[in-house]
Amino acid sequence: MALIKCENLTLGYEGRPVVTGLNFEVNEGDYVCIVGENGSGKSTLMKAILGLVQPLSGQIIFGDGLTQNQVGYLPQLTDNQRDFPATVREVVYSGCIAGMGRRPFFGRREKEIAKNAMERMGILDLAKRSYRDLSGGQQQRVLLARALCAARKILLLDEPVSGLDPKATIEMYDAIDRLNAEGVAILMISHDILAATIKASHILHLGRETFFGTTAEYEASRTGREFMAAP
């Protein structure tokens, strides 16, 4: 069974649809890229999967024992956080709260999860640094580590490389690749169609026409050819 399956999903705000009749699924180990023009509803879809936006119609089904609070999420960067006084450790630990039930304080289990996540993202040496003093690439890796603390099997990434310099972009893609190789399914919004077709196993295209299929199918499709040819 699929980790996440969307059936005939229509999304929008205040009754006004943004995405209509969407069907796709994400299976264990998949690497799905969501592409499409600005305003086509990519972030909205992600928020719907996370339960932040209610679907107008249709269904989002979680399978394979996945529950909604086991989805890791890397949001688009917001300005609010740029001057926030918090250490890397504090930010990463906050990803563990979902798994704590009603316990008020972190225990040994959370310490291990957080340490493991920081290790995998290569930020263990930054633990005591202030989040706001880090470079954009480092900040993204901190947020990815936080997402890992919450996630079991799947990560949702909203434009993880936007605003990063080329070196940080490559590092970020490598980190995501490693996680995917370890068996974590990836659902990523990307502006970079070239990188998407290189990295992804499946492509979900939102826009006037929606498309969902393997990357090879997408490259052969009319939607895909037109979108990739556009400047």
Partner 1 sequence: MAQILEYLSYPFVRYAVIVGVLIALCSSLLGVTLVLKRFSFIGDGLSHVAFGAVAAAAAMKLTDQTVLVLPVTVLSAVLLLRTGKRAKVKGDAMIAMISVSALALGYLLMHLFPVSGNVSGDVCTTLFGSTSILTLTAADVRLCAWLSAAVLVLFVLFYHRIFAVTFDEDFSQATGMRADRYNMLIAVLVAAVVVLAMNLVGSLLISALVIFPALSAMRLFRSFLSVTVCSAVLSVVCAVLGMAVSILAGTPVGATVVAVDAAAFLVCYVIGAVRGV
Ligand X SMILES: Nc1ncnc2c1ncn2[C@@H]1O[C@H](COP(=O)(O)OP(=O)(O)O)[C@@H](O)[C@H]1O
Is residue 73 within the footprint of partner 1 (CB under 8 A)? yes
Considering CB distances under 5 to 8 angstroms, the limit depending on partner class, which of partner 1, ligand X, Mg ion, none binds residue 134?
none
Bridge partners of residue 211, in order along the sequence: 205
Question: Site map for Mg ion, 63-102, x if CB under 5 A?
Answer: ----------------------------------------
User: Is 13 a binder of ligand X (CB under 6 A)?
Assistant: yes
Closest CA to 71 of 94, 43, 99, 93: 99
51 binds, among Mg ion, ligand X, partner 1, none (CB under 5 to 8 A by kind): partner 1
How many binding residues for partner 1 (CB under 8 A)? 32
Residue number, 42 or 141, with CB nearest to Mg ion: 42
The sign of the CA dihedral 175, 167, 73, 9 is negative
205 interacts with ligand X by CB under 6 A: no
Is 133 a residue that touches partner 1 (CB under 8 A)? yes
**Is 18 a residue that touches ligand X (CB under 6 A)?**
yes
**Contacts with partner 1, residue ranges (CB under 8 A):** 47, 50-52, 68-69, 71, 73, 75, 78, 80-81, 84-87, 90-91, 93-95, 97-98, 104-106, 130, 132-133, 146-147, 150
**Contacts with Mg ion, residue ranges (CB under 5 A):** 43
**Contacts with ligand X, residue ranges (CB under 6 A):** 13, 18, 36, 38-44
